[in-house]
Structure 1
């Protein structure tokens, strides 16, 4: 699998484990992000890596039964130092309506590591 697409899968496996079962360490997840990471949430908020770290810590174990499904993963562009990836992500919790977003992620390669540099999420219609 394309290494950037694999990174999307790998991080979402970690997010599901953390949110659903409280498994994993927030610090290990944050190491996957560029220090200047930025994000636009589905509601239009602009957040930093510090905000994401806080969110991860607050949500640890808070969503029992959470399942995250990824579909439509594709590389929109790749170059030697990074890539632009699009995917659709659906969160399902028992007894609740599924929430689906379409995401575009910008990755950079530094020191041989793929790092999340920017993420833009939009609620799917």
Structure 2
């Protein structure tokens, strides 16, 4: 893997969303097994602001994923407009657009993730999601 912290952080954005997709769809029967590697990327003191403006901690995020295994069959998740907005030492802040498509509906959010890269270990410290207006009403 690349030693550049920004490139490692950018890769992590895609990797984490692949794991989230696996949890939500359970398409290959490995949704539950994806939870442990997914949670491994979140720092112990990780927190996030959801699209509903709720502040949740790591334990709450884990419970959300455990309750969501296979809950969204047919879901696709696309990551676009990925930009580095800040980088200092091992810490990188990235902004990206996340688009969910399912059953003819599309929803998007813009997120800012704060990640710490140490060698080949990446920890998500913080995530803030902002919903965008529905782009493709059903």
Task: Judge same fold: TM > 0.5, yes or no.
Answer: yes
TM-score (norm 2): 0.84
Show the counterpart of 2:99. Answer: 90
* Gaps in structure 2 of 5+ consecutive residues: 134-138
- Asked if 1:108 corresponds to 2:116, the answer is yes
- Asked if 1:81 corresponds to 2:86, the answer is no
Separation in 2, partners of 1:113, 1:93:
32
Number of equivalenced pairs: 124
Show the counterpart of 1:52. Answer: 61
Show the counterpart of 2:136. Answer: none
Q: Secondary structure at the match of 1:25?
A: helix
Separation in 1, partners of 2:44, 2:119:
13
Specify which of 1, 7, 10 is matched with residue 12 of structure 2. 7
* Gaps in structure 1 of 5+ consecutive residues: none
How far did residue 28 of structure 1 move? 1.7
Give 1:58-77 correspondences, 5 Å limit: 58-77=67-86
Separation in 1, partners of 2:108, 2:34:
25
Compare CA radii of gyration and give the structure with the larger one.
Answer: 2
